[in-house]
């Protein structure tokens, strides 16, 4: 252990913290969500509900009683279908070439080149989605003197759509043309249409509605049947007219490979010219007034917005696909790495045959319990510590509680030291307890946590290795009732504990949890104590120890039972603080990325892991949900459900293995599928909120969690009643703390002296502290009584002699998985 520099200077208290009530980022997220949803809905509808298919008429032809006879036997251009229908014939020796389904980026330019070489104009009936994807081709069609018509937006069979869908198809296509080329058109060719005598009553209802909207329907007299790809000769045979009558020839410039169409067109135009035919657009071929006109400003702007929106939807879907694959790859990578690391960690621990760290650690331990309004659970916490089978000094630091926490502890008449101070925050309370600790080994435990009898003994054994500066215990959820309790239980076992095994193996532990952690007092003094510049003081402290060269390990056998939030609101506040504080600590210790040794391991292993799996992956998690919904509606639902089940199976496998490692019953895992629909979404919203808070530079103030009184005091831990000393005399004694008080943040009293970076006693108070860094004097052979054997229950000396003593509490009853006075 070299270079014991104080990289983590004594924390500077912020006089005031700003309560952040951010609204802007949620408004932006809502607008983004609405915009993205709209774009995806339009993209899904336009690209996956219908689509360009064969022009073969779908289904059998229905009855044609409503179709006027003059239409059935009339010309291919039909007007006034809603009132007094009439048709127009093509002039003799005139050919109107028409191309459907485009524009296509490959075949439309080739067809335009053929027409330009032969000085021929044609009519292109464009599909709206194609116009949106290739607006430059629509502009080229118009610029080359060709005529534009519409062929619906998504190429559906209009006869099978509701009237509102028909109107939407026509209107959106018109806007796409207006946005792409700045023109509007009155020409319409319904998909799957052919000749006049093929119209039935359903088709006629389409034509009547289109006429009411201002459209003229253009059918065909000759179908080249190039959509069948029968070969160039067959296309020429179907397209060439017999006789001198004028024709409207149907061909295609999109919808697949149109090389045969291009070849046939190159031969058809010279042949028909040689036969005396001339070529014209549809309107010129029937003598119709100009159907294509400049678009109004409103239509042009709406068209541009539609194009941008749909193109944005295409990009969004592409990005979602990429992000989903990235998220999937990260998830699988994490699962593989964590499972392999957990298995190896288990083998290394079990392979050391019961003494993994060295000689047994039997020296007494100071246990610091910071408490602020912990009256609901402090008694159970203290009694569980007294039931420890290892000698302990218990120090409860009351941080200005308003619910009588300190009074409650004192009224128990137990060998516990109570220190009162004005409210200054958990880091200050921990520093106060650390300054008062009389032992070299210090265990920190939250006031809502109970220990098992062997927890203290188990958690300090790694200190037999002089390189170890801190030990993380195994925190477990005590209030597991209800779905929320089960989900948090699963997260603690599967998420937190599996990760800690990985961090332990990689020697980059980023967090020793506040619920159960042990430290060398000397290591904490070297780094300046517990800092208050982040809301995750446990993470900040652990990272500082790693950067100072100390090894931080995980001892899964040191179990502590803690209360978890019992409502979604309380869970949100807790996780928001955790996540935001973790981001603060990561930023504070970002310098570890370029350091060497233990600090480099923390930076390049621990910080990168946190960034990938606790920040980036939750930010990508919504992508998986959004794409799943998109796929269920517009793609193959069976495939999407299969992928979701595969990820769920992977998580279940991780859960089963983690529960096996922790010796837990796998029963609660039945709720894991439900966890994907509420709990996971809440967690990634927490990350989003935390990231926005961090980026905005706001400082989140500490938010205390609710306590529910679900903790249970260990059996037999009541202790004797009556006048008992406040401290075991076998442990190092210090002056009484009666009247000891930290200067509050707004007190006018002079600033108290500082000791080793910790708040010390105020001037003129009788408490004497050892000099900074002076080695603490460990108790002798437990004078005036004999030192107990390793792990034997601590005998009570002096005033306890002659009184009936409580047993060492071997019958400490572990809280049951669902033992709670309330249902959650």
Residues 6+ apart with CB under 8 A from 159: 190, 200, 202, 203, 205, 206
3-class DSSP string for 550-611? CEEEEEEEEEEEECCCCCHHHHHHHHHHHHHHHHHHHHHCHHHHHCCHHHHHHHHHHHHHHH
Q: Check if the beta carbon of residue 90 is closer than 8 Å to that of residue 74.
A: no
Q: Calculate ∠ Cα 810-812-813, nearest 5°.
A: 140
Q: Check if the beta carbon of residue 730 is closer than 8 Å to that of residue 777.
A: no
Residue from 151, 238, 252, 809 carrying the catalytic annotation? 252
Q: Report the 10 Å Cβ neighbour count for 454.
A: 18
Cα distance between residue 265 and residue 235, in whole Å: 9
Residue from 55, 100, 211, 526 carrying the catalytic annotation? 100
Told to judge if 100 belongs to the known catalytic residues of this protein, a careful annotator would answer yes
3-class DSSP string for 434-502? HHHCCCCEEEECCCCEEECCCHHHHHHHHHHCCCEEEEEEEEEECCCCHHHHHHHHHHHHHHHHHHHHH
Cα distance between residue 581 and residue 593, in whole Å: 19
User: Hey, which residues does 403 pair with through a beta bridge?
Assistant: none
Told to judge if 252 belongs to the known catalytic residues of this protein, a careful annotator would answer yes
Q: Which residues of 325-358 are buried (b: 16+ CB within 10 A; e: fewer)?
A: eebbeebeebbeebbebbeebeeeeeeeeeebbe
Residues 6+ apart with CB under 8 A from 605: 503, 506, 507, 508
User: Hey, which residues does 758 pair with through a beta bridge?
Assistant: 755
Q: Check if the beta carbon of residue 96 is closer than 8 Å to that of residue 122.
A: yes
3-class DSSP string for 62-128? CCCCCCCHHHHCCCCEEECCCCCCEEECCCCCEEEEEEEEECCCCHHHHHHHHHHHCCCCCEEEECH
Cα distance between residue 365 and residue 519, in whole Å: 10
Cα distance between residue 19 and residue 702, in whole Å: 9
State the distance between the two ends of the chain, measured CA to CA, in whole angstroms. Answer: 48
Helical residues (DSSP H) of 182-286, grouped into ranges: 201-212, 232-239, 259-274, 282-286
Cα distance between residue 378 and residue 448, in whole Å: 7
**Does the N-terminal peptide bond of residue 784 adopt cis geometry, omega within 30 degrees of 0?**
yes
Residues 6+ apart with CB under 8 A from 805: 720, 795, 796
Helix (H) / strand (E) containing 684: helix 679-696
Strand 222-223 and strand 247-252: the pairing is parallel
Closest CA to 45 of 314, 308, 255: 314
Q: What is the DSSP-derived secondary structure letter of residue 662?
A: T
Cα distance between residue 43 and residue 631, in whole Å: 12
User: Hey, which residues does 519 pair with through a beta bridge?
Assistant: 442, 470
* Inter-helix orientation angle 498-506/297-350, to 10°: 70
756 φ/ψ angles, rounded to the nearest 5 degrees: 60, 25
- Using DSSP's 3-state secondary structure scheme, residue 23 falls into coil
- Ramachandran bin of 404, using left for φ above 0, alpha for ψ from -120 to 50, beta for the remaining angles: left
Residue with tokens 């459900």: 641
Cα distance between residue 576 and residue 570, in whole Å: 10
> Which residues form the catalytic set?
100, 252
């Amino acid at each position: 252990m070299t270079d014991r520099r104080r990289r983590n200077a004594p924390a500077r208290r912020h006089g005031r913290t700003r309560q952040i009530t951010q609204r802007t980022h949620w408004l932006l997220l809502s607008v983004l969500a609405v915009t993205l949803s709209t774009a995806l809905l339009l993209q899904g509808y336009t690209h996956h509900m219908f689509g360009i298919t064969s022009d073969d008429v779908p289904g059998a032809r229905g009855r044609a009683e409503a179709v006027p006879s003059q239409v059935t036997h009339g010309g291919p251009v039909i007007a006034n279908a809603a009132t007094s229908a009439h048709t127009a014939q093509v002039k003799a020796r005139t050919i109107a070439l028409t191309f459907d389904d485009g524009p296509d980026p490959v075949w439309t330019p080739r067809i335009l080149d053929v027409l330009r070489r032969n000085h021929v104009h044609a009519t292109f009936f464009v599909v709206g989605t194609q116009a949106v994807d290739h607006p430059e081709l629509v502009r080229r069609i118009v610029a080359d003197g060709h005529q534009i018509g519409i062929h619906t937006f998504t190429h559906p069979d209009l006869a099978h759509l509701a009237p509102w869908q028909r109107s939407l198809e026509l209107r959106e296509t018109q806007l796409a043309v207006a946005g792409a080329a700045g023109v509007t058109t009155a020409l319409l060719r319904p998909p799957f249409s052919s000749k006049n005598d093929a119209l039935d009553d359903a088709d006629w209802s389409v034509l009547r509605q289109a006429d009411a909207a201002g459209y003229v329907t253009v059918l065909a007299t000759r179908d080249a049947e190039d959509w069948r790809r029968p070969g160039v000769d067959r296309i020429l045979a179907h397209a060439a007219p017999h006789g001198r009558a004028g024709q409207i020839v149907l061909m295609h410039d999109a919808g697949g490979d149109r090389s045969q169409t291009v070849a046939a067109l190159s031969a058809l135009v010279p042949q028909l010219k040689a036969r005396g035919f001339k070529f014209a657009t549809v309107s010129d071929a029937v003598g119709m007034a100009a159907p294509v006109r400049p678009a109004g400003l409103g239509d042009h702007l709406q068209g541009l917005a539609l194009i941008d929106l749909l193109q944005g939807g295409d990009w969004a879907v592409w990005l979602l696909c990429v992000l989903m694959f990235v998220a999937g790859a990260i998830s699988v990578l994490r699962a593989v790495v964590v499972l392999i690391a957990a298995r190896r960690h288990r083998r290394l621990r079990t392979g050391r045959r019961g003494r993994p760290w060295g000689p047994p650690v039997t020296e007494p331990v100071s246990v610091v319990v910071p408490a602020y309004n912990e009256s609901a659970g402090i008694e159970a916490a203290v009694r569980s510590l007294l039931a420890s089978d290892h000698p302990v000094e218990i120090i409860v630091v009351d941080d200005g509680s308003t619910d009588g926490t300190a009074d409650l502890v004192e009224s128990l008449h137990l060998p516990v030291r109570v220190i009162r101070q004005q409210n200054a925050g958990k880091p200050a309370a921990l520093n106060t307890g650390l300054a008062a600790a009389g032992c070299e080994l210090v265990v920190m435990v939250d006031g809502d946590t109970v220990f098992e009898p062997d927890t203290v003994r188990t958690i300090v054994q790694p200190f037999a290795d002089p390189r170890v500066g801190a030990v993380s215990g195994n925190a477990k959820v005590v209030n597991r009732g209800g779905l929320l309790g089960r989900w948090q239980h699963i997260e603690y076992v599967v998420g937190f504990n599996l990760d800690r095994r990985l961090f332990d193996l990689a020697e980059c532990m980023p967090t020793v949890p506040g619920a159960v952690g042990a430290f060398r007092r000397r290591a904490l003094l070297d780094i300046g104590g517990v800092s208050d510049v982040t809301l995750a003081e446990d993470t900040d402290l652990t990272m500082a120890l790693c950067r100072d060269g100390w090894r931080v390990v995980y001892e899964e056998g040191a179990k502590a039972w803690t209360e978890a939030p019992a409502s979604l609101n309380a869970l949100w506040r807790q996780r928001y603080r955790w996540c935001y504080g973790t981001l603060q600590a990561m930023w504070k210790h970002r310098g570890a990325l370029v350091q060497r040794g233990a600090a480099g391991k923390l930076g390049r292993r621990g910080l990168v892991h946190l960034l990938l799996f606790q920040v980036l992956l939750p930010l990508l998690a919504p992508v998986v949900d959004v794409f799943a919904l998109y796929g269920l509606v517009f793609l193959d639902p069976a495939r999407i459900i299969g992928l979701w089940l595969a990820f769920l199976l992977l998580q279940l496998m991780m859960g089963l293995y983690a529960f096996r490692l922790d010796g837990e019953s796998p029963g609660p895992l039945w709720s894991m599928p439900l966890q994907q629909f509420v709990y996971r979404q809440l967690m990634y919203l927490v990350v989003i909120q935390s990231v926005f808070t961090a980026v905005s530079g706001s400082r989140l103030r500490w938010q205390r969690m609710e306590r529910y009184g679900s903790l249970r005091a260990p059996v037999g831990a009541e202790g004797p009643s009556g006048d008992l000393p406040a401290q075991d005399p076998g442990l190092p004694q210090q002056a009484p703390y009666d009247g000891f008080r930290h200067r509050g943040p707004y007190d006018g009293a002079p600033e108290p002296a500082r000791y080793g970076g910790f708040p010390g006693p105020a001037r003129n108070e009788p408490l004497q502290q050892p000099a900074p860094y002076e080695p603490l004097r460990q108790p002798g052979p437990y004078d005036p009584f004999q030192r107990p054997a390793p792990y034997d229950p601590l005998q009570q000396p002096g005033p306890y002699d002659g009184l009936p003593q409580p047993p060492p509490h071997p019958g400490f009853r572990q809280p049951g998985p669902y033992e709670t006075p309330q249902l959650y």
